[in-house]
Structure 1
Amino acid sequence: MTDLVFADELPAPGSDEAASKPLEPWVVMIVDDDVAVHQVTQLVMADFEFSGRRLQFLDAYSGVEARELLKSRTDIALILLDVVMETEHAGLDVARYIRDELKNNHVRIVLRTGQPGQAPEEHVIKTYDINDYKEKTELTKRKLITVFYAALRSYRDIMIIEQSRQALRRSIDAITRVYDSQNLRRFASAVLEQVTHLLGMDARALCASRVSAYAASNCEGHLKVLAATAEYSRLLVDDEISNLPPEVKTALDRALIDQCGYFDSHHFIGYYRSSTDNETLLYMQFSDPVDAQARELLEIFCANVAITYESLLLREEIQETQRSTVFILGEAVERRSKETGAHVRRVGEISALLAETSGMRAADVEFMRQASPLHDVGKIGIPDRVLNKPGKLDADEWEIMKTHARIGFELLSKSDKRILQLGAIIAHEHHERWDGAGYPRGLLGDQINIAGRIVALADVLDALVSGRCYKEAWEFDAALAYITEQAGKQFDPALVQQLFDKLEAVHEIYRRYPDS
């Protein structure tokens, strides 16, 4: 599914400077009330270097000063700690403060004392969580260097383990968040966000996909941008990659031609071909060099991303087929009653809008959008002479017309699929009234399912402003006046208020789905 190779460095402005950037020094804290101890220690260790990193010293001349400094620093690797300062056990108190109160188990603590009788070595080593115990008289330059090597090597290894734990935690979290993405657009954005989080560094990234077996026909065979971080935010959604910066386009073209991904210290170009021949690219440029551990994490993460992407493609194709089938069925019913097919789409969008403003979860909002077009599916059981009568229905005809709510419910409730179950509720209850005077069961107020109340409002609004065989279309303001007058009677008053709060969004729906 995925092939990755380590490539020669891709040219990038500023990468040479980043590569030559000096490593951060090891931070060493000296806690001693003797100024000379600070001076001698720093003089002796001035040229010390370990793993390509020099030393940076912090000075504290009492236990109190040490505590204050430790509150604001989490990057200290080694503490050289005197025992006797403002009190006979000031240093021991600091050691206990570090481990017990600050919960800092990473920093290496070397106890130095000029009065070993005040703190016997065996007692101190056994009682306090320190890493070494030295008398000041025995700390020659050679032994001090040995202490520094041992302590810093230990600190480095501990931090590597801790970073690996954090990376694993971030990796699991990142994969979980990506798996939670509900569609390809959110999935792509989640990939970019979580890869940056995974590596714990700043990254500029772009995700593109060439979909040859899925999506709209005009996307087939064309590589278009799915998502981008802020660095590439100027790109329009679905923009062609020909509009990308030249170095990005060159990198992506190379991956497409070679059909594999590339790494260098400042770039990651991932190439993925799914089992259905969908090609996906991920381009990332890093502000700092990417080490071998980060590369390994990226490979593991992106392998999961590729699998998830393939699953989402299949899921979205199934969902799109389901949505299309629902709309086709809804439009077929509307066309039989000589009404425009745009009605079911507008009812779906208005219902989703009201569902969102009512506080429904995103998944439930989408279910409302897909199920509400089925509200009048029961009309397939209504005779043409009643369904398309140009004038007012008589009493018998009206009783026949009202049966479409029950017919729709019986038809849809036979399925155990969630959308059709919701569609059954909507079909059954969208002609109920808030005041209890509706049909078929005369439900009152909150007895009516929220889905039925929402579609009742959306359906009547669109029916009023649309032309029918038995009436002319109303002006939009006249329809709104009727809705206002019926708040608390025919309609849930809270939903009416939400509709008026979102009028601009409602007008946008009518601009997007006009009558043909």
Structure 2
Amino acid sequence: MSDLVFADELPEELPHGRTKAIDPWVVMIVDDDPAVHQVTQLVMADFEFAGRRLQFLDAYSATEARELLQARQDIALVLLDVVMESEHAGLDLARYIREELENHHVRIVLRTGQPGQAPEEHVIKTYDINDYKEKTELTKRKLITVFYSALRSYRDIMIIDQSRQALRRSIDAITRIYDSQNLRRFASAVLEQVAHLLGYEAQGLCASRISAYAASHIEGRLKVLAATSEYSKLLVDEEVDSLPDEVKVSLDKALHDQQSHFEDLCFVGYYRTSSGNESLLYMVFSEPVDAEARELLEIFCANVAITYESLLLREEIADTQRSTVYIIGEAVEKRSKETGAHVRRVGELAALLADLVGMKAGDVEFMRQAAPLHDVGKIGIPDRVLNKPGKLDAEEWEVMQTHARIGYELLSKSDKRILQLGAIIAHEHHERWDGQGYPRGLAGEQIHVAGRIVALVDVFDALVSDRCYKKAWGFDEALAYVREQAGTQFDPKLVDLLLANLDAVQDIYQRLPDRV
């Protein structure tokens, strides 16, 4: 093995533009002969591949090697002796690496001084190793070839694995962003997921210029939708004119050129949807973004633009739907000669309780939109009954009670989830916890939770509002009545939740006061 000491191989040059030291390749020598460790490290001391030097780990038995392999995930190459504490210690270790540790990345090169103990053909066929060498044939030149081959293979495997992980992160990021319920949450999710996707520390902001179909009152003006902590002084919807000069210059350039652009530590993404909406993503990174990350960022942001367009349309449809529900509910209000924002407050109070009982976010929103339809059946009640200033007689009360059935029949004809929920609410919001309500005399949990929620909030809001047959009660007086009726008229658990969250209830009344 004399020529192990002399022949040198030129290392590869560092990749262009590197500004800091790169982590070395980790190589583990597993051999019970200390001389093998010493000679290998001496011969390979100046070796470099892809701009990275070598870091050696020493294990003098398979047992030591197992401990090292359990503790580290960055070992690229194992130079493995066969005969150590037993005749097949090395082969057993190779099987342990692949089968028990499930490590299929590390390259395993078997080195043996006793080839008869482990015939090459049998070993290559039976064990998942990458090369087989007799120690007597490992000159320096051949050892260098082994290192180049093994490390190049390990590098390519890791690139594939990292690409797979990046794809998984990309899909996850897009999914999280698509699940955003509004534009501000969407913009915040974009900022969060870009940093997660690339694995870089980043600060940034999202801005948007929305076309007339989505929000005509801000047409042509760029608004900040979300910002990371670095730009947290920017308020949501603040004008772009208040941005730092370097940010404004970058955004103006992207708007003028109508395309994304990279700078050394900065990325500005420009996206124009088919409806003419323009959005910008400004990101500043703590270190230069490499070519692979730039490509991934472009792909990610192109998908973000598509999602953004979908979200704009979804918001417009949702706004239209909410407005339609409120128009219908308020039309019934006006016919009943009731002033104020009763249907809106019932929707907000119902959503509050739905959230407190643990409904999913989507179901809470359905409650917010369906609850205002609770009295839609009153369109079938004659004015003489609906607007009678005094107490109804038995016949009139029987007529009034039919509004629950009428509302159910109107809404249940649709297969849309919100209207189906509205049908349940219209039908059951006059049922009582004790079974003495109408129209079916349901009791306790026989009543759908949506019906129980609206039964409570509808009565509470009616008590604190002026009606044709009474003056508004005081807030404390209404709360006392609700507390008194817990377990008889109302679900006691819902009453407890209402009373425990009076600050949130008061906030709703401050936001939605009666309109005279």
Q: TM-score, normalised by structure 2?
A: 0.91
Change in Cα spacing, 1:176 to 1:273, as seen in structure 2 (3 Å) is same
The match for 1:275 is 274
2:512 aligned with 1:513: yes
The match for 2:6 is none
In terms of mean alpha carbon deviation, does 109-118 or 59-68 score higher? 109-118
The match for 1:134 is 133
Structure 1 residue 454: Cα displacement = 0.8
Structure 2 counterpart SS, 1:28: strand
Structure 1 counterpart SS, 2:339: coil
The match for 2:94 is 95
The match for 2:21 is 22
The match for 1:334 is 333
CA RMSD, Structure 1 to Structure 2 (Å): 2.0
Change in Cα spacing, 1:19 to 1:212, as seen in structure 2 (3 Å) is farther
Tell me the distance in 2 between the aligned counterparts of 1:264 and 1:161.
27
Letter in 2 for 1:458: V
Tell me the distance in 2 between the aligned counterparts of 1:430 and 1:423.
10
Letter in 1 for 2:152: R
Tell me the distance in 1 between the aligned counterparts of 2:286 and 2:120.
48
The match for 1:456 is 455
User: In 1, are the aligned partners of 2:340 and 2:513 still within 8 Å (CA)?
Assistant: no
Letter in 2 for 1:45: M
Structure 1 residue 465: Cα displacement = 1.1
Tell me the distance in 2 between the aligned counterparts of 1:239 and 1:359.
34
Structure 1 counterpart SS, 2:27: strand
Letter in 2 for 1:108: R
User: In 1, are the aligned partners of 2:376 and 2:426 still within 8 Å (CA)?
Assistant: yes
In terms of mean alpha carbon deviation, does 134-143 or 115-124 score higher? 115-124
Structure 2 counterpart SS, 1:399: helix
Tell me the distance in 2 between the aligned counterparts of 1:264 and 1:29.
40
Letter in 1 for 2:467: R
Tell me the distance in 1 between the aligned counterparts of 2:382 and 2:129.
90
The match for 1:308 is 307
Cα deviation, 1:276-295, whole Å, max 9, x if unaligned, reads: 11111112223343222222
In terms of mean alpha carbon deviation, does 384-393 or 366-375 score higher? 384-393
Number of matched pairs: 499
The match for 1:199 is 198
Which ranges in structure 1 are unaligned for 5 or more consecutive residues? 1-17
The match for 1:6 is none
Structure 1 residue 216: Cα displacement = 4.8
Tell me the distance in 1 between the aligned counterparts of 2:408 and 2:388.
24
The match for 2:352 is 353
Structure 2 counterpart SS, 1:50: coil
User: In 2, are the aligned partners of 1:429 and 1:452 still within 8 Å (CA)?
Assistant: yes
Letter in 1 for 2:196: H
User: In 2, are the aligned partners of 1:354 and 1:454 still within 8 Å (CA)?
Assistant: yes
Structure 1 residue 137: Cα displacement = 2.6
The match for 1:290 is 289
The match for 1:250 is 249
The match for 2:322 is 323
The match for 1:410 is 409
Letter in 2 for 1:173: D
Which ranges in structure 2 are unaligned for 5 or more consecutive residues? 1-16
In terms of mean alpha carbon deviation, does 340-349 or 452-461 score higher? 340-349
Letter in 2 for 1:154: S
2:173 aligned with 1:174: yes
The match for 1:188 is 187
The match for 1:397 is 396
In terms of mean alpha carbon deviation, does 244-253 or 277-286 score higher? 244-253
2:142 aligned with 1:143: yes
Structure 1 residue 266: Cα displacement = 3.3
Cα deviation, 1:411-438, whole Å, max 9, x if unaligned, reads: 2223332222222221222111111211
Structure 2 counterpart SS, 1:468: coil
In terms of mean alpha carbon deviation, does 64-73 or 287-296 score higher? 287-296
In terms of mean alpha carbon deviation, does 171-180 or 63-72 score higher? 171-180
Structure 1 residue 217: Cα displacement = 4.9
Tell me the distance in 2 between the aligned counterparts of 1:511 and 1:388.
28
Tell me the distance in 2 between the aligned counterparts of 1:53 and 1:288.
19
Letter in 2 for 1:356: D
Structure 1 residue 458: Cα displacement = 0.5
Tell me the distance in 2 between the aligned counterparts of 1:90 and 1:209.
64
Structure 1 residue 327: Cα displacement = 0.8
The match for 1:343 is 342
Equivalence map 1:151-162=2 (5 Å): 151-162=150-161
Tell me the distance in 2 between the aligned counterparts of 1:341 and 1:275.
41
Structure 1 residue 77: Cα displacement = 0.9
The match for 2:76 is 77
User: In 2, are the aligned partners of 1:214 and 1:220 still within 8 Å (CA)?
Assistant: no
Structure 2 counterpart SS, 1:270: strand
Structure 1 residue 365: Cα displacement = 0.9
Q: Percent identity?
A: 80
The match for 2:8 is none
Structure 1 residue 71: Cα displacement = 0.6
User: In 2, are the aligned partners of 1:389 and 1:469 still within 8 Å (CA)?
Assistant: yes
The match for 1:480 is 479
Letter in 1 for 2:76: A
User: In 2, are the aligned partners of 1:204 and 1:231 still within 8 Å (CA)?
Assistant: yes
The match for 1:38 is 37
Structure 1 residue 102: Cα displacement = 0.7
The match for 2:107 is 108
Cα deviation, 1:395-422, whole Å, max 9, x if unaligned, reads: 3332232222222223222333222222
Tell me the distance in 2 between the aligned counterparts of 1:215 and 1:475.
41
Tell me the distance in 2 between the aligned counterparts of 1:222 and 1:81.
66
Structure 1 counterpart SS, 2:76: strand
Equivalence map 1:418-433=2 (5 Å): 418-433=417-432
User: In 2, are the aligned partners of 1:265 and 1:291 still within 8 Å (CA)?
Assistant: no
Letter in 1 for 2:427: H
Tell me the distance in 2 between the aligned counterparts of 1:467 and 1:364.
31
Structure 1 residue 463: Cα displacement = 0.8
User: In 1, are the aligned partners of 2:347 and 2:370 still within 8 Å (CA)?
Assistant: yes
Structure 1 residue 220: Cα displacement = 3.0
The match for 1:374 is 373
User: In 1, are the aligned partners of 2:369 and 2:418 still within 8 Å (CA)?
Assistant: yes
Structure 1 counterpart SS, 2:212: coil
Structure 2 counterpart SS, 1:209: strand
Tell me the distance in 1 between the aligned counterparts of 2:97 and 2:370.
60
User: In 2, are the aligned partners of 1:63 and 1:86 still within 8 Å (CA)?
Assistant: yes
The match for 2:225 is 226
Tell me the distance in 1 between the aligned counterparts of 2:406 and 2:392.
19
Letter in 1 for 2:167: L
User: In 2, are the aligned partners of 1:465 and 1:474 still within 8 Å (CA)?
Assistant: yes
